[in-house]
Amino acid sequence: MPRCTNLALAAERQFRRHLVPTGTTFDAPLMVLALEVAAIAVSPASLEEPALTTHPYLYAGLSHPAIRLYPLQVPIARQIHRASS
């Protein structure tokens, strides 16, 4: 299984294990904020040219930046949630 798929699965497991039980949904303000933070943390060039990226947390070959940022978004959301609890 490619590394990007492993990262996506790990992120989804984290989301379901840690955030869903707290009532967090994918479109919750916490997840929107985490997506914005992830987008700031990644080079725009990495998002525009996925075939050229070496960033391990990006999906190569998928068209929407939010999809490629998901493996970064979930851990950021977990950190924000922990800090606010």
pLDDT, tens only, 43-63: 776 665 544 344 554 445 555
Prediction pTM value: 0.73
What would the DSSP string read from start to end of the chain?
Answer: --HHHHHHHHHHHHIIIIIGGGT--TTSHHHHHHHHHHHHHS-HHHHH-GGG---TTSPSS-S-HHHHHHHHHHHHHHHHHHHH-
Residue ranges of domains in the chain: 3-84
- Is the pLDDT at 68 greater than 80, yes or no? no
Find the mean pLDDT for residues 27-50. Answer: 82
